[in-house]
């Protein structure tokens, strides 16, 4: 019996040990993932948001617009389909989540964290990023979920967000910028301020404010056809924006394969799907002896096989709004407000010069090019078309070219798919139709409804 | 705490009652002729104690007064002998098949008489396994038990095996049974990585979506089949309720061989050699060259198709400087430079090898009257049918047991496994070996004249500058010989698992058992895409280190008492603690500086990440069994479990089971004459089991940022000098702090019959189970900022019937014996509900518009969902196809191009039934056995065929230019997608028109648009995956004991065997038994799977 007692005693003790360690934490502590963070400071989110924004624009959005605007040629696979306007909703199932989750949800979270922590610099930057993403997205799809979006992890939040009207979203973008500028102008920027984590501007609040004004200039100019007021607004925003190439809003990618520029990656991972040399733009530039051809020639490589184009070296930039675009915008707005050809021409020539300078074209070549191509004559509309035609070349791979073409009809492009016209908008993605079907606008095609400013 | 007190009080009160008397009993076991039965097991009924008979059939065992001994030996009907009032016994065993008084090892190592079982279990003995020498213990189970589905993902060395008992209950969780070795659960994970999959897409685990990468391995492969004594298959929740969460999908209880106490030292040697040949392959055409529209196009033009000129119109020009062919350029017959006629290259024979497997195992066992031990060493060395594929496994296993005094016995076992596996890229992956091989035109030689040895010669697959020599001028898909050399995956494993156990017989009716088991391994994988690989042209290197640790502790109080001669019972009380910890480190290097140097230092950029996974569960359990007159058996189990993966407020759950068995043959009327109906039992049981939540599923954290877009591999942080975190991504799921456990209620009823002194036995089980609160990452629109939300959402039912017939039609006194086992089972699963509003859930494969495996309400589990080719009734796939009646159309008089009809369920990969016949005929020392497996029905998506038909290499495309009249109704779709047909005036009228009578031609356009799933609906490539196959055939001869008498040998046998000898099937892709999804829930897809093997071999068993 003695032994029995001992065993029973041991059993009791071990049981007590187990039970005493049966506190909640015995289990709950185990279920905490040590490889993730439960909270982050804004400087850990901003790099993600900026890279995601650049990756999203420089990826599908840039590829779609470059194919539709014939700046690139779709030779194989999906690119070939897209080039001939064969799109179905499923084609947007990569772009949409990159936009709504990686870019916008993370940015939405950045706004919340920054506002709660009083990190005014981040509150401002994240709002300007949100405004920019809204502007680009509205120009692709028109109506979009926004005011009810990003509620997936909010208790009781909508899992089926409604769609806001495109024009209202332009207003939202504008207000976001106004609010962002207030944050960025606050005397006290809070305990954490952006610096190297801000790849776009290195934490320079003044430049972000200028970027904000540039977006507002775009918002206004997009609506300026037949509206002098909007063109004037654009001019006044431009006046508060960039003053040199150094202030252009762009994201410069890293020098590693896993942080490489989007076009560099596309040429690496999908070789042969697209090329530059067969595009309308390439043919035009080559024929005219344009000095930008070698800078745009995505297909060329050096003796070591490295890409040489300005736009697809490993650390090439994805441009959001550049100083030269701002000058082109001001030339167009000037023509719309006053029709002052001389004033517009000065701005036009400055725009071309800024673009060529950015690429690194020698000064003598620039001077000769401007002399040959920088004159505006004829009616205001003709001059606008000429400005747009040059802007179309300057904004290589920038989705703004598609907006420009839809707004001005310039440059004149021939359809790549006889019987079909060039699309004027994107379709909503299949996932959105599947999981938010009740709210997705119905009867959307590549041509209708047009974006509200497209008339 | 309360539970514990209760247990303690129970324990103490029982303990206080009696202290048993024990005595020593000696005896002898003989067969009907009086010959001693060496090694017969002698077990004490209702306890874990026992011994085995020595070489002379005698045994000595210490037993409680009034104990009953159960004497058993393989091939003989066990007997029960009471030792009440005696100290010597003499037992004669009669031959017979699985009689009902046999003892089986059930959940938690509890030994129970078969007759007392109230649920369905099936035991497979060692002599039924190990006939083939493949070294894959789980793969060997195929066809051996009813209700058991076994799918081997490829025939590659070390290829994974998926097993499932009855149906699947969880859409995203593990549906495979728990593997238990000597009472301790061991890990059967798939640790795999697919470098070609989008970032964040896991190729590991039950829900891994594996479409490319290299063939996966499941860790159950690490066992040495030669160490296995028997396997008991616990089929349903009723049998496994005691195991809790881990065994909610059934359990495979493996008992390893032990050295017996009192046995003399014995050595047993098993040695086998197996030759593997490539099994079933798709038929390829052998007439048409690379090119398009009937024109030859050379490799350097980069074209991917074989729609070129007829081969008999082509000549080689004999140019010696043409890098793509040693015979020179291909020119037309009429060309001036035409020299020799082109003959087709043999793609298969110039690539596949004869695989060789050597499987050697040696075991030493022995003991004295108190102790026993067994030491075994096994080595498997296998090369594949694909060049360079290789698997090497060494296992060292030691087990022993000893008795300390009369009451305490201890046992322990430990197994060390080391394996290295050289794996080959597979599947939907431009570095997938079959992709490049099957698509190669007949005018291109991947081996460049070296035949089977192409892989040994660099100039077969690469040019001097390091770029690839392939049929697309270096682009497209990798040359298969390039892949096996330059895109290797090495997987190295070191693993130790084992247990230690102490049993203390407190008295005759109480035993205390403590068992601690552990399973620890590291798996180090290294995957390389060399510079110029098409999947990763800059070169990439992936190092993945998996470390897995799990420990399992059981404390069991075993109480059993016969209250009277008629009434007995046992009660088991237990406590279980289980802990799992995994540390996985992932390092990825990109951009090689030097080709062919596979070291991380060679990468221009390196990224690393880690994942630590931890989990704990704890449970109290009880198992009560009552029996009355050996006729009525009641068994009740209960388990109260707490899991760390559930929310703290709700992390404890309880599940019971109850079962009743009625051996009606004990009734008067039956009892007297058992010659015809020897045994009959009806049984019924109910059980509830649960599954806990996925690990770390309760919160939405910030993780290292990674994103991509399907075209480029994307951005991985840190990037640009900064860290970056994300709360969301395209695959981010919102955590749910209110998750509940998944629950399954299972009901089963069965009938067990034994006839003619149990020479013929029949078991039937019907079951129904309903699984509710299944956890599902419910898709939500991305505009919510996330991809999904984890919810308790799904309801799935399974019902089925399992039949097993085991009979010995012939058994003669002169030694001829023929035994046949027939297994048959059918499972019907139904996804009753997903989350409200969710009409389908993507489980894996290729997405909605392509062929994917989905859960769809109202449909069976894991159906194939995809696009369709327009039928005359768009939503009815059984209605005739629409034959295009627009004369201007490119598909005029052919079926319309696919994808226009709605995406819908296009196939059900679950078979209607599966069955097997296992026959064993023996005469004196000769034994001839075979096993035939049948899978009836079960659809497969044959994407391999789809791609090959599109590319023009498929055998069926030989019919090009032949005329045919396509079957269907004339019509087309109007601008709104409605079915219409043209009337005589070419005016569109609603609905389909008349039956097509217009002749058409099998054109390139047909094969590229409507004839296969690459252009037509995915539906086009759904095929019946049913088959009948000769799984195994063996002939062995065992030297008679008399002959061996004067030699040092105690046993000597030689076996010749063949596996997968032949398969009859209508399926025409890669073997219908291969699976792209590997050992995961995603079954039913064939897309350039690595093929299966058929093998022949020789096996030698020696004992001395």
What confidence tens digit (pLDDT) does each residue in B966-1014 have? 999 999 988 777 899 999 888 999 999 999 999 999 988 888 878 777 7
Q: What is the pLDDT of residues B628-646, one digit of tens each?
A: 988 999 999 999 999 999 9
> Can you tell me the distance from the alpha carbon of B283 to that of B636, in angstroms, rounded to the nearest whole number?
56
Three-point CA angle A253, A256, A258, nearest 5°: 85
Q: Which of A19, A25, A30, A443 to mutate to test the interface with B (most CBs of B within 10 A)?
A: A30
Q: What is the pLDDT of residues B710-759, one digit of tens each?
A: 889 899 999 988 999 999 999 899 999 999 999 999 999 999 999 988 88
> Can you tell me the distance from the alpha carbon of B1088 to that of B953, in angstroms, rounded to the nearest whole number?
13
pLDDT grade, residue B866 (50/70/90)?
confident
CATH number for A412: 1.25.40.390
> Can you tell me the distance from the alpha carbon of B788 to that of B364, in angstroms, rounded to the nearest whole number?
56
Contacts for A112 with CB less than 8 Å, ≥ 6 apart: none
Residue with tokens 């506002």: A115
Residue B783 and residue A60: Cβ atoms within 8 Å?
no
Which comes out higher in pLDDT, residue B1018 or B486?
B486
> Can you tell me the distance from the alpha carbon of B1013 to that of B1000, in angstroms, rounded to the nearest whole number?
20
Residue A256 and residue B724: Cβ atoms within 8 Å?
no
**Best CA proximity match to B636, nearest among B665, B661, B666:** B661
Q: In Å, how far are A74, B105, B664, B682, B979 from B679, measured between CA atoms?
A: 76, 21, 8, 10, 63
A11 sits in the region (left: phi over 0; alpha: psi -120 to 50; else beta) called: alpha
Of A200-209, B88-97, B207-216, where does the model show the most confidence? A200-209
Q: Which residue is closest to B4 within chain A, CA to CA?
A: A15
DSSP notation for A247-277:
G-EEEE--SSGGG--HHHHHHHHSTTSEEST
Q: What is the pLDDT of residues A94-105, one digit of tens each?
A: 999 999 999 999
Q: Are A47 and B717 in contact (CB under 8 A)?
A: yes
A102 closest CB neighbour out of B615, B707, B716: B707
Residue B605 and residue A258: Cβ atoms within 8 Å?
yes
Q: Is B580 on the interface with A (CB under 8 A)?
A: no
Residue A339: per-residue pLDDT:
93
Answer whether residue A242 shows pLDDT above 90. Answer: yes
> Can you tell me the distance from the alpha carbon of B469 to that of B465, in angstroms, rounded to the nearest whole number?
10
Residue B132: per-residue pLDDT:
66
Q: Which residue is closest to A435 within chain B, CA to CA?
A: B781
pLDDT grade, residue B6 (50/70/90)?
very low
On whether residue A425 sits in a domain, the answer given is yes
Q: Is B724 on the interface with A (CB under 8 A)?
A: yes
Residue A4: per-residue pLDDT:
55
Q: What does the pLDDT average to over A35-51?
A: 96
Answer whether residue A202 shows pLDDT above 70. Answer: yes
Residue B206, min C-alpha distance to chain A (Å)? 20
Answer whether residue B445 shows pLDDT above 90. Answer: yes
Residue B901: per-residue pLDDT:
63
On whether residue A275 sits in a domain, the answer given is yes
Q: What does the pLDDT average to over A171-190?
A: 97
The number of folded domains in chain A is 1
pLDDT grade, residue A401 (50/70/90)?
very high
Residue B95: per-residue pLDDT:
58
Residue A104 and residue B785: Cβ atoms within 8 Å?
yes
Residue B351: per-residue pLDDT:
96
Q: In Å, how far are B78, B162, B352, B515 from B520, measured between CA atoms?
A: 38, 22, 36, 17
Q: Which residue is closest to A268 within chain B, CA to CA?
A: B537
Q: Which residue is closest to B556 within chain A, CA to CA?
A: A11
Q: What is the token pair recorded at B623?
A: 């198992």
Residue A31 and residue B849: Cβ atoms within 8 Å?
no
DSSP label at residue A102: I
Residue A395: per-residue pLDDT:
98
Answer whether residue A7 shows pLDDT above 60. Answer: no
Answer whether residue B678 shows pLDDT above 60. Answer: yes
Task: Give residues 813 to 842 of B whose Cβ lies within 8 Å of A.
Answer: 839
Residue B8: per-residue pLDDT:
45
Look over chain B and give the mean of its residue pLDDT values, rounded to a whole number: 87
Answer whether residue B440 shows pLDDT above 70. Answer: yes
Q: What does the pLDDT average to over B117-123?
A: 84
> Can you tell me the distance from the alpha carbon of A259 to that of A156, in angstroms, rounded to the nearest whole number?
37
Q: Other C-beta atoms within 10 Å of A239: how many?
A: 11
Residue B202: per-residue pLDDT:
62
A269 closest CB neighbour out of B12, B615, B712: B712
Residue B611 and residue A109: Cβ atoms within 8 Å?
no
Residue B9: per-residue pLDDT:
45
Q: Collect all residues of chain B within an 8 Å Cβ-Cβ radius of residue A434.
A: 779, 839, 848
On whether residue A234 sits in a domain, the answer given is yes
Answer whether residue B243 shows pLDDT above 70. Answer: yes
How buried is B782 (Cβ within 10 angstroms: 0-12 exposed, 13-18 middle, 19+ buried)? buried
Q: Which residue is closest to A46 within chain B, CA to CA?
A: B724
pLDDT grade, residue B201 (50/70/90)?
low
> Can you tell me the distance from the alpha carbon of B110 to that of B104, in angstroms, rounded to the nearest whole number?
8
On whether residue A360 sits in a domain, the answer given is no
Minimum mean pLDDT range among B784-793, B808-817, B1053-1062: B808-817
pLDDT grade, residue B189 (50/70/90)?
confident
Q: What is the pLDDT of residues B353-384, one digit of tens each?
A: 999 999 999 999 988 888 899 999 999 999 99
Answer whether residue A211 shows pLDDT above 80. Answer: yes
Q: What is the pLDDT of residues B448-492, one digit of tens each?
A: 999 999 999 999 999 999 899 999 988 888 999 999 999 999 999
Residue B4: per-residue pLDDT:
46
Q: CA-CA-CA-CA torsion for A290, A294, A300, A306, nearest 10 degrees?
A: -170
Q: Collect all residues of chain B within an 8 Å Cβ-Cβ radius of residue A82.
A: none
Minimum mean pLDDT range among A362-366, B115-119, B1084-1088: B115-119
Q: Collect all residues of chain A within an 8 Å Cβ-Cβ radius of residue B698.
A: 31
Contacts for A31 with CB less than 8 Å, ≥ 6 apart: B614, B615, B644, B645, B695, B696, B698
Beta bridge pairs of residue B576: B554, B619
> Can you tell me the distance from the alpha carbon of A163 to that of A444, in angstroms, rounded to the nearest whole number?
14
Which comes out higher in pLDDT, residue B130 or B1063?
B1063
> Can you tell me the distance from the alpha carbon of B175 to that of B166, in angstroms, rounded to the nearest whole number?
10
Residue B32: per-residue pLDDT:
64
B787 closest CB neighbour out of A27, A95, A101: A101
Task: Give residues 623 to 652 of B whose Cβ lies within 8 Å of A.
Answer: 642-645, 648, 651
| Cα atoms found within 13 Å of the Cα of residue B388, Cβ hemisphere only | 22
Q: What does the pLDDT average to over B290-300?
A: 93
> Can you tell me the distance from the alpha carbon of B111 to that of B252, in angstroms, rounded to the nearest whole number?
15
Residue B76: per-residue pLDDT:
67
Q: Is B502 on the interface with A (CB under 8 A)?
A: no
Q: Which of A15, A42, A307, A427 to mutate to test the interface with B (most CBs of B within 10 A)?
A: A15
Answer whether residue B839 shows pLDDT above 70. Answer: yes
Beta bridge pairs of residue B733: B788
On whether residue A350 sits in a domain, the answer given is no
How buried is A118 (Cβ within 10 angstroms: 0-12 exposed, 13-18 middle, 19+ buried)? middle
Chain centroid, CA B304 distance in Å: 35
B713 closest CB neighbour out of A18, A30, A269: A269
Query: DSSP 3-state assignment of A127?
Result: helix
Q: Which of A80, A82, A106 to mutate to test the interface with B (most CBs of B within 10 A)?
A: A106
How many residue contacts between A and B have a Cβ separation below 8 Å? Answer: 270
Which comes out higher in pLDDT, residue A111 or B99?
A111
Residue with tokens 């039913």: B1084
Q: Are B342 and B311 in contact (CB under 8 A)?
A: yes
Chain centroid, CA B274 distance in Å: 21
Q: What is the token pair recorded at A197?
A: 């984590």
Q: Is B547 on the interface with A (CB under 8 A)?
A: no
Percent of chain B with pLDDT over 70: 93
Write out the residue range of the structural domain in which residue A134 sits.
Answer: 3-301+310-322+397-436
Q: What does the pLDDT average to over B955-961?
A: 92
pLDDT grade, residue B20 (50/70/90)?
very low
Which comes out higher in pLDDT, residue B495 or B776?
B495
Residue B785 and residue A108: Cβ atoms within 8 Å?
yes
Which comes out higher in pLDDT, residue B67 or B666?
B666
Q: What does the pLDDT average to over B58-75?
A: 78
Q: What is the token pair recorded at B326?
A: 């040693």
On whether residue A429 sits in a domain, the answer given is yes
Residue A8: per-residue pLDDT:
55
Answer whether residue A13 shows pLDDT above 60. Answer: no
Residue B781 and residue A161: Cβ atoms within 8 Å?
yes
**Helix (H) or strand (E) segment spanning residue A345:** helix A341-359
A36 closest CB neighbour out of B644, B703, B780: B703
Residue A93, min C-alpha distance to chain B (Å)? 9
Residue A23: per-residue pLDDT:
52
Q: Are B569 and B627 in contact (CB under 8 A)?
A: yes
Q: What does the pLDDT average to over B774-792?
A: 92
How buried is B862 (Cβ within 10 angstroms: 0-12 exposed, 13-18 middle, 19+ buried)? buried
Q: What does the pLDDT average to over A196-225?
A: 97
Q: Is B127 on the interface with A (CB under 8 A)?
A: no
Residue B779 and residue A434: Cβ atoms within 8 Å?
yes
How buried is B955 (Cβ within 10 angstroms: 0-12 exposed, 13-18 middle, 19+ buried)? middle
User: Which ranges of B439-487 does DSSP label H, i.e. alpha helix?
Assistant: 458-461, 480-486
Residue with tokens 């109007």: B974
On whether residue A447 sits in a domain, the answer given is no
Q: Are B213 and B203 in contact (CB under 8 A)?
A: yes
Q: What is the token pair recorded at B553?
A: 């502790």
Answer whether residue A3 shows pLDDT above 50. Answer: yes
B717 closest CB neighbour out of A12, A47, A144: A47
């Amino acid at each position: 019996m003695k032994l029995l007692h001992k065993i029973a005693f041991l059993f009791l003790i071990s049981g007590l040990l187990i039970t005493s360690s049966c506190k909640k934490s015995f289990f709950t502590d185990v279920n905490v993932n040590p490889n993730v963070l439960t909270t982050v400071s804004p400087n850990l989110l901003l790099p993600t948001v900026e890279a995601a924004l650049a990756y999203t624009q420089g990826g599908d959005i840039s590829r779609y617009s470059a194919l539709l605007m014939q700046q690139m040629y779709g030779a194989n696979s999906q690119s070939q389909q897209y080039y001939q306007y064969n799109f179905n909703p499923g084609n947007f199932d990569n772009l949409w989540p990159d936009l709504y989750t990686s870019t916008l949800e993370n940015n939405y979270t950045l706004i919340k964290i920054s506002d709660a922590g009083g990190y005014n610099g981040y509150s401002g930057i994240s709002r300007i990023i949100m405004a920019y993403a809204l502007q680009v997205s509205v120009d692709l799809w028109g109506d979009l979920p926004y005011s009810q979006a990003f509620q997936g992890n909010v208790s009781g939040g909508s899992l089926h967000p409604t769609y806001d009207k495109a024009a209202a979203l332009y207003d939202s973008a504008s207000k976001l910028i106004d609010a962002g500028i207030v944050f960025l102008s606050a005397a006290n920027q809070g305990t954490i301020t952006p610096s190297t984590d801000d790849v776009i501007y290195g934490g320079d609040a003044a430049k972000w404010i200028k970027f904000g004004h540039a977006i507002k200039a775009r918002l206004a100019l997009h609506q300026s056809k037949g509206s002098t007021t909007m063109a004037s607004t654009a001019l006044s925003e431009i006046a508060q924006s960039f003053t040199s190439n150094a202030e252009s809003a762009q994201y410069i990618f890293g020098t590693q394969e896993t942080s490489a520029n989007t076009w560099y990656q596309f040429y690496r991972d999908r070789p042969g799907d697209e090329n530059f040399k067969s595009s309308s733009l390439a043919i035009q530039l080559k024929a005219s002896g344009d000095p930008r051809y070698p800078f745009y020639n995505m297909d060329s490589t050096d003796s070591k096989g490295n890409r040489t184009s300005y736009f697809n070296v490993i650390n090439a930039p994805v441009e959001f709004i550049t100083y030269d675009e701002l000058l082109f915008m001001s030339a167009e707005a000037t023509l719309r407000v006053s029709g002052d050809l001389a004033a517009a021409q000065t701005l036009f020539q400055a725009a071309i010069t800024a673009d060529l300078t950015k690429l690194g074209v020698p000064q003598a070549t620039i001077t000769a090019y401007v002399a040959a191509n920088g004159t505006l004559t004829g009616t205001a509309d003709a001059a606008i078309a000429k400005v747009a035609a040059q802007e179309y070349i300057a904004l290589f791979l920038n989705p703004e070219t598609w907006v420009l073409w839809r707004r001005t009809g310039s440059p004149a492009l021939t359809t790549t798919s006889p019987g079909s016209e060039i699309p004027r908008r994107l379709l909503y993605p299949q996932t959105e139709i599947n999981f938010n079907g009740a709210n997705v606008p119905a009867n959307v095609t590549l041509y209708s409804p047009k974006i509200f400013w497209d008339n | 705490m309360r539970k514990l007190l209760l247990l303690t009080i129970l324990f103490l009160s029982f303990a206080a009652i009696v202290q048993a008397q024990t005595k020593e009993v000696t005896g002898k076991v003989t067969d009907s002729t009086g010959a001693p039965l060496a090694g017969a097991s002698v077990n004490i009924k209702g306890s874990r104690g026992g011994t085995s008979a020595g070489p002379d059939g005698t045994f000595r065992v210490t037993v409680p007064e009034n104990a009953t001994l159960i004497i058993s030996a393989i091939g003989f009907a066990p007997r029960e002998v009471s030792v009440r009032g005696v100290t010597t016994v003499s037992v004669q065993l009669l031959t017979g098949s699985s009689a009902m008084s046999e003892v089986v090892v059930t959940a938690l190592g509890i030994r129970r008489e078969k007759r007392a079982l109230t649920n369905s279990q099936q035991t497979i003995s060692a002599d039924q396994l190990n006939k083939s020498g493949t070294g894959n213990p789980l793969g060997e189970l195929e066809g051996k038990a009813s209700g058991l589905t076994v799918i081997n993902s490829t025939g590659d060395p070390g290829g994974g095996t998926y097993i499932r008992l009855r149906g699947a209950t969880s859409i995203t969780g593990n549906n495979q049974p728990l593997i238990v070795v000597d009472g301790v659960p061991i890990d059967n994970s798939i640790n795999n990585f697919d470098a070609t999959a989008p970032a964040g897409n896991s190729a590991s685990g039950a829900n891994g979506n594996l479409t490319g990468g290299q063939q996966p391995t499941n860790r159950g492969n690490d066992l040495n089949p030669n160490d296995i004594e028997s396997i008991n298959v616990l089929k349903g929740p009723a049998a496994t309720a005691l195991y809790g969460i881990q065994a909610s999908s059934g359990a495979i209880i493996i008992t390893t061989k032990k050295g017996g106490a009192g046995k003399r030292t014995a050595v047993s040697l098993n040695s086998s050699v197996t030759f593997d040949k490539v099994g079933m392959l798709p038929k390829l055409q052998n007439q048409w060259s690379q090119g398009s529209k009937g024109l030859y196009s050379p490799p350097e033009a980069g074209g991917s198709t074989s729609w070129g000129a007829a081969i008999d119109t082509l000549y080689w020009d004999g140019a010696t400087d043409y890098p793509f062919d040693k015979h020179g350029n291909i020119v037309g017959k009429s060309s001036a430079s035409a020299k020799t006629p082109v003959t087709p290259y043999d793609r298969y024979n110039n690539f596949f090898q004869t695989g060789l497997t050597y499987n050697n195992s040696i075991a030493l066992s022995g003991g004295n009257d108190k102790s026993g031990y067994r030491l075994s060493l096994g080595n498997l060395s296998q090369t594949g049918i694909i060049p360079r594929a290789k698997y090497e496994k060494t296992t060292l296993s030691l087990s022993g047991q000893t008795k300390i005094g009369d009451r305490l016995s201890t046992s322990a076992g430990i197994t060390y496994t080391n394996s290295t596996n050289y794996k080959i890229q597979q599947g939907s992956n431009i570095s997938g070996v079959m992709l490049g091989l099957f698509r190669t035109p007949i005018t291109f030689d991947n081996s460049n004249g070296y035949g089977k040895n192409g892989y040994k010669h660099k100039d077969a697959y690469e040019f001097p500058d390091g770029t690839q020599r392939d049929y697309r001028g270096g682009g497209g898909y990798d040359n298969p010989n390039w892949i096996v050399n330059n895109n290797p995956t090495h997987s190295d494993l070191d693993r130790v698992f084992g247990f230690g156990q102490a049993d203390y017989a407190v008295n005759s009716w109480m035993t205390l058992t403590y068992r601690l088991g552990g399973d620890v391994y590291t798996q180090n994988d290294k995957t390389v895409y060399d510079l110029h690989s098409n999947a990763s042209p800059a070169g990439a290197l992936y190092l993945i280190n998996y470390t897995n640790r799990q420990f399992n502790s059981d404390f069991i109080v075993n109480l059993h008492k016969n209250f009277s001669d008629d009434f007995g019972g046992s009660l088991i009380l237990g406590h279980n603690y289980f802990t799992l910890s995994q540390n996985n480190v992932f390092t990825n290097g990109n951009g090689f500086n030097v080709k062919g140097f596979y070291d991380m230092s060679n990468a221009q950029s390196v990224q690393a990440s880690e994942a630590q996974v931890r989990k704990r569960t704890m449970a109290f359990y009880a198992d009560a069994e009552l029996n009355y007159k050996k006729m009525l058996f009641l068994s009740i189990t209960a388990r109260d479990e707490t899991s760390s993966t559930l929310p703290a407020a709700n992390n404890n759950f309880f599940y019971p089971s109850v079962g009743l068995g009625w051996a009606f043959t004990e009734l008067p009327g039956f009892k007297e004459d058992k010659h015809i109906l020897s045994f009959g039992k009806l049984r019924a049981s109910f059980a509830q089991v649960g599954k806990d939540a996925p690990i770390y599923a309760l919160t939405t954290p910030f993780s290292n940022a990674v994103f991509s877009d399907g075209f480029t591999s994307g951005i991985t942080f840190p990037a640009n000098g900064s860290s970056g975190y994300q709360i969301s991504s395209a695959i981010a799921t919102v955590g749910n702090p209110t998750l509940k456990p998944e629950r399954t209620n299972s009901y089963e009823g069965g009938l067990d019959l034994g006839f003619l002194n149990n020479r013929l036995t029949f078991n039937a089980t019907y079951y129904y189970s309903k699984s509710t609160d299944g956890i599902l990452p419910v898709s939500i629109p991305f505009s919510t900022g996330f991809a999904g939300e984890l919810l308790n959402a799904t309801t799935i039912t399974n019902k089925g019937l399992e039949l097993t017939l085991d009979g010995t039609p012939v058994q003669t006194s002169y030694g001829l014996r023929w035994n046949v086992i027939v297994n048959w089972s059918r499972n019907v699963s139904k996804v009753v509900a997903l989350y409200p509003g969710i009409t389908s859930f993507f489980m894996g494969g290729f997405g909605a518009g392509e062929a994917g495996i989905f859960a769809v309400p109202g449909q069976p589990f894991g159906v194939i969902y995809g696009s369709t080719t327009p039928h005359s009734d768009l939503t009815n796939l059984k209605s005739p196809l629409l034959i295009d009646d627009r004369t201007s159309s490119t598909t005029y008089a052919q079926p319309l191009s696919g994808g226009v009809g709605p995406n819908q369920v296009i196939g059900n990969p679950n078979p209607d039934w599966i069955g097997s016949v296992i026959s064993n005929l023996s005469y004196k020392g000769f034994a001839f056995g075979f096993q035939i497996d049948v899978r009836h029905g079960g659809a497969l998506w044959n994407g391999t065929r789809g791609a090959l038909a599109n590319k023009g290499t498929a055998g069926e495309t030989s019919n090009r230019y032949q005329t045919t009249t396509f079957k269907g109704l004339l019509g087309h779709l109007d601008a709104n997608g409605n079915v219409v047909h043209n009337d005589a005036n070419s005016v569109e009228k609603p609905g389909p028109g008349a039956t097509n009578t217009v002749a058409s031609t099998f054109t390139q356009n047909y094969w590229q648009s409507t004839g296969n799933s690459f252009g037509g609906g995915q539906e086009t490539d759904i095929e019946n995956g049913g088959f009948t196959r000769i799984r195994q055939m063996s002939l062995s001869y065992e030297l008679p004991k008399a002959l061996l008498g004067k030699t040092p040998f105690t046993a000597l046998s030689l076996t010749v065997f063949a596996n997968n000898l032949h398969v009859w099937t209508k399926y025409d892709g890669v073997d219908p038994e291969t699976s792209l999804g590997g050992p995961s829930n995603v079954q039913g897809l064939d897309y350039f799977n690595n093929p299966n093997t058929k093998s022949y071999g020789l096996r030698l068993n020696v004992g001395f």
